[in-house]
Structures are given as C-alpha cells and as structure tokens.
Amino acid sequence: MSVQKSFAELEKMHRACSIVVETLAALAEAVKPGVRTKELDRIARERIEKAGAKPAFLGYKVRGLVYPATLCVAVNDEVVHGIPGERRLEEGDIIGLDLGCIVDGFYGDSARTVAVGRISPEAEKLMKVTEESLRRAIAQCRPGQRLGDLGHAVQSHAEANGFSVVREFTGHGIGTRLHEEPQVPNYGKPGRGSRLNPGLCLAIEPMVNAGGPEVEVEEDGWTAVTADGSLSAHFELSVAVMPEGPWILSEPYPYSTRKAAS
C-alpha cells in the first residue's frame, strides 16, 4: 500500500491539488468551439508555473515513452492520455482534461470532462453519471473500508445507468510519486481488497464509456480510445483517508480537529 502521510505532508498535497483544480477551472472556461488543444496546454503550463509549482506530466516516462505536454486531453471517444496539438474543438464535443503538478516534492492529480458548447443528452448523462460515480467512491474512503468498496461504488452506478467502466486503466495511490500503490480499479466487489487506513492518499478516477468497456491505444503510444468509437468521460480527485472520513485534497480540511494521519 501507499505510504501513509502525516498531516504536514497532506498540507503540501492540499496545495498541489488546489493548484490543479483551480487550473482545471480556468481551462474549463477556456474550452470553446475553435480552440486548439495546444492552447489549453499552454494555459495549463503557464498557470502551474505562475503558482510556483511544476507540471507533473511533462517529461513523465513510461514504457520507454516520454510524455511531451503539461496537460492530457481526451476528446469524444478518447478515454485518457491524449496529447494536445493542432486539433480544434467543435460544438458538441466533450473533452477530458487531466492535469497534475508538484509542490515541495508532493503530487496533486485531478481530471474533469467539459462540454464544448451545446452537447447531446447522451453526453450530458454520461458526464453526470461519471462524476456521480466518483463522488460515490469518495464516500467510501473511510478507515476500515476496502478497495473493492470503491470500485463497486463506481461500477454499480455506471452500469445501472447503462454505461460501462474501463478496466485497463485505474486510479492509484499518490504522494511523493505520481503513481504509488495501490491500484484503484473502477470495478470490484464490496468487502474485498486491501483495507483503507488513515493517511492513505488515493487518486480516484472513474473512466466511463457510453458503449463497451474495451479500449485501444493509438500509434502515439499514449492516446487511449474506446474500441467501439463510443463517447467516454473521465473525472478524478485526489483524496486522503482521515480518521473522520475522506478529505478531498483540493478542498479545505473539512473537520474541526486537525489530526495527524500517522
């Protein structure tokens, strides 16, 4: 499991996560028909650096590949990890915005899906259900709960609404590394998996498809798309398991008494 964090460490993560979520809010305002995705990447990098943080994704290495941007974008049937570029957004698109930063050696990571102008009722429902699935998983982030409780919360809500959850990609632990143990699947059975302990930090990120759950990775080695061409939505927040319950790390500490997590 991920190393449990002290309250002082969680405060650094709170700063990082706050910068990420504030930047995502600015990006959501900038999303309009005609905007190129590389312009969103420019805004993200400038805001993160102005806040005194470092981009977490820029230069990130995996499988011998180096990610070339600050922001990950995912338009329509793209699920995650799309590289910003010359593509112009069009009326009716939906775009996933995934962003991370580093403050004092600690990471923050978050994502949201945004409408480009007026979108279809199906796209609206997909986005709504995906965000609701995230909130249901966060509610399970209490000491003694298990990882399967989080996955079941996402899966049951998504499937009850006629959607499917991606299985090839998961949430993850987070702290002094972007990806720590444990993996946090968006499916599972309640009461199964490792127990959650105070001080554990998780980046919970449902990826929900309007069609089937299968995905494919394109030739760039990064961009994942739905295998059937259906729409996909993605929401993510970094959360600390506290003695009193979940702390969404981009929000102020929600409890009256500050307790060290370890």
Q: What is the pLDDT of residue 1?
A: 54
**91 in helix, strand or coil?**
coil
Q: Report pLDDT digits (tens) over 113-132.
A: 999 999 999 999 999 999 99
Domains with residue ranges and CATH for the chain: 7-248 (3.90.230.10)
Mean pLDDT of 6-11: 96
Residue 128 corresponds to which tokens in the numbers above? 């709504």
Q: Which pLDDT does position 256 carry in this prediction?
A: 74
| Residue 222 CA to its chain's centroid (Å) | 16
pLDDT at 261 over 50: no
**Token pair of 79 as six digits:** 């699920």
At a CB cut-off of 8 Å and minimum separation 6, what does 116 contact?
31, 32, 33, 89, 90, 91, 92, 93, 94, 95
pTM: 0.96
Q: Choose among 236, 204, 210: nearest CA to 225.
A: 210
pLDDT in tens, 143-179: 999 999 999 999 999 999 999 999 999 999 999 999 9
Predicted confidence (pLDDT) per residue in 180-225, tens digit: 999 999 999 999 999 999 999 999 999 999 999 999 999 999 999 9
- Interval 40-54 mean pLDDT: 98
The reported pLDDT for the residue numbered 262 is 45
Instruction: Report whether 53 contacts 16 (CB < 8 A).
Output: yes
